[in-house]
Structure 1
Amino acid sequence: MPSNPISTSTAPLKLLVLGGTVFLGRHVVSAALAAGHDVTVFNRGRRAMEFHRPVSALIGDRDADTSALRGHPFDAVIDCSGYRPAQISRVAEALETPWPHWVFVSTISVLERFAPGQAYDESAPVTAASTGYGGEKARAEETLQALTGGQCTIVRPGLIVGRHDPTGRFSYWPWRVAQGGSVLAPGRPARLVQVIDARDLAEWCVQLAVARTPGTFHAVGPTQSMQSVLDTCREACGAPARWVWRTDAELLAAGVTPWTGLPLWLPEDDADFGGMLLGRRDKAEQAGLRSRPLIDTVRDILSEQRDDPTRATFAQTLTRDAQTRLIESASSSH
């Protein structure tokens, strides 16, 4: 794949979005349309597309049939759905040459480990695994780097949050705080966490595609305390909620599963994941990444929940009964 020179052109792009109908891809399409670009999506066509401007659609499956891509020249690709090396290779083989600049949305999970208390940057070691989410994404990164001679953009997000999130991994907190009362709060109040709004990430991916910016970037949000996150949720919804903090040791002793039992919670001394929410964003900021205030993200999530109450779910979260028992045991021990 030939090199793509860095460009600051603002002319509309013929942009291919791989994915584009669920979460981040949906925001990427919206951001690209808002910037005036000509957008085509390639996916399996299983979900309806609802955008304010027309979007071209090519139907296929990057695990099996990418023939719909043939004969369609593009200026840039934003890849929101690539997970395995073969998926990268199939799409590249179907695209016309010279190939467009490729922005690949990877993940911080490609890193080997997240040492407790240690902030990490793009020089951190990548896993050698070939299986699992992080391993497959890491090998997909390598495949794209080899195909492009390094003239591509690798974006490694942390936890992506906001409207249309199908997981509820962060949305749980605004939804729970809005219910008021005693809220089980995990770990230390000053424990540091990071989230990135899908809209900010999407807009930045479009900017990277326009500028044909090569390189690898960790796309993480500003670092803030868990208490600050909860206080922001309370400010956004105005609910009379109060925090009942339980330590890492108390939660583990109660059998709470890190990350899923209570979203955003990871024991700080965990040898492999204790520092997962401590990514450095210096390089990404230098390349144009900007983040809106967290309260804007929270308000958007609450608005979505009001529009569609069925979205206020996160199946893996500790049950309310289990949370109540932990809250009551905390109260009785103080």
Structure 2
Amino acid sequence: MNILILGGTQFVGRHIVEAFLAGDHHVSILTRGQTRDDLPDTVERLRGDRSQGQAGLDALAGRHWDACVDVSGYLPSAVRVSAEALRKRVGRYVLISTVSVYAEQGRHPVLESDPLLPPAPEDTAAVTGELYGPLKVTCEQVVQAAYGDRATLLRPQIVAGPHDHTGRYSYWPDRASRGGETLLPGNGEDHVQVIDARDLARFTLRVVEDGTGGVFNVAGPRLSWAAFAGVLGIQHPVWVDAATLEQQGVDFRALPLFMPDTGAQAGLMDIRVERAVQAGLTLTPPDVTARDTRAWSAQVNPAYALTPQREAEVIAAWREKER
């Protein structure tokens, strides 16, 4: 098959490109050429920028593909440009969306049929944390309206694995590798859930090869934080309650992935994926995701918000409070 990927050089897009290449498909990517590109030479590089309207897609003129995978669709105005330009020139349009589209994020569990957030205005010009979910809702609507049953919407959980430039997941295997007393949030009974980028990529390949349309949550195993600590190999956990962490100014950025089970967004750590599993989603064991992420991260040495010194201070403050 001939596959067009909008994006494709970073993290999720890179894994999707590699999955299609492993499936012996021909891959073209459309990018602005601003991000380092370590993809194989067999990938066709096309240059373009949807923010420039139809003129930004001149490189696609006269071309046809069996499917388009939109990894970089965040603004509805840009997604409309590509969706309309390609409507008669691709067989299927796959949009990588997000579980952040759901309106009732405290609901347990979260299903594909749950209510969505109110869509953001289509002319919104910038992505913010507050607008991220509503913008993706609008992007989904644009694709569904243009492609009907030729549209596939994938709603991944927080994505983990090698090449993760966000550092959200990689903090934990990196921290575990350092050993010693390790600050952990809560009491071990809250839950964490991610999706290995390679599983998301293989599922993207599967829905394209099978011609599968519809909406799919894409998430990995749901673990208690105590089980997650065990997967990471943390030997000396120090569990600190959410209230103390807040008092100490330790937030989601410093201790990523933590959403208390009683929190307003706790449902986002309880994503059901039966529909995707029936359509062919397979999941990497959590210990393999942790091991492979650490092997990659050890080569790049990313910086994290929570330094060892600050971690020790928070643990000391918690112990003082508990006396």
Task: Check whether TM > 0.5.
Answer: yes
* Secondary structure of residue in 2 paired with 1:243: strand
Contact 2:70 2:95 in 1 (8 A): yes
Cα offsets for 1:253-296 (capped at 9, x unmatched)? 32322x2121111233223x122211111111111111111111
* Cα distance in 2 between the residues matched to 1:95 and 1:247: 50
* Secondary structure of residue in 2 paired with 1:275: helix
Determine the structure 2 residue equivalent to 1:251.
245
Residue among 58, 61, 66 paired with 2:57: 66
What is the deviation of 1:69? Answer: 1.1
After the TM superposition, which residues 159-308 of structure 1 pair with which residues of structure 2 at under 5 Å, given as runs? 159-234=158-233, 241-257=235-251, 259-271=252-264, 273-308=265-300
Cα offsets for 1:110-154 (capped at 9, x unmatched)? 1113116x2110011100041611111100000100011243100
Name whichever of 207-216 and 85-94 sits farther off: 85-94
Determine the structure 2 residue equivalent to 1:80.
71
Contact 2:170 2:297 in 1 (8 A): no
Q: After the TM superposition, which segments of 4 or more aligned residues of structure 1 sit over 6 Å from their partners? A: none
Cα offsets for 1:55-94 (capped at 9, x unmatched)? 1011000111112111111001111100122222211333
Give the gaps of 5 or more residues in structure 1: 1-12, 235-239
What is the deviation of 1:52? Answer: 4.1
**Which structure shows the bigger proportion of residues in helix conformation?**
2
* Cα distance in 1 between the residues matched to 2:294 and 2:257: 18
What is the deviation of 1:96? Answer: 6.5
Residue among 115, 135, 145 paired with 1:125: 115
* Secondary structure of residue in 2 paired with 1:94: helix
Contact 2:191 2:261 in 1 (8 A): no
* Cα distance in 2 between the residues matched to 1:29 and 1:318: 33
Determine the structure 1 residue equivalent to 2:128.
none
Determine the structure 1 residue equivalent to 2:127.
none
Contact 1:188 1:247 in 2 (8 A): yes
Contact 1:70 1:95 in 2 (8 A): no
After the TM superposition, which residues 42-53 of structure 1 pair with which residues of structure 2 at under 5 Å, given as runs? 42-52=30-40
2:295 alignment partner AA = S
Contact 2:190 2:225 in 1 (8 A): yes
State the TM-score, normalizing by the size of structure 1.
Answer: 0.88
* Cα distance in 2 between the residues matched to 1:129 and 1:97: 26
* Cα distance in 2 between the residues matched to 1:119 and 1:32: 31
Q: Percent identity?
A: 36
* Secondary structure of residue in 2 paired with 1:90: helix
Determine the structure 2 residue equivalent to 1:7.
none
Determine the structure 2 residue equivalent to 1:318.
306
Contact 2:87 2:147 in 1 (8 A): no
* Cα distance in 2 between the residues matched to 1:269 and 1:215: 31
What is the deviation of 1:249? Answer: 2.0
State the TM-score, normalizing by the size of structure 2.
Answer: 0.91
Cα offsets for 1:196-236 (capped at 9, x unmatched)? 110111011011111111110111111111122121111xx
* Alignment root-mean-square deviation, CA: 1.7
Count of equivalent residues: 310
What is the deviation of 1:98? Answer: 4.8
Contact 1:39 1:56 in 2 (8 A): yes
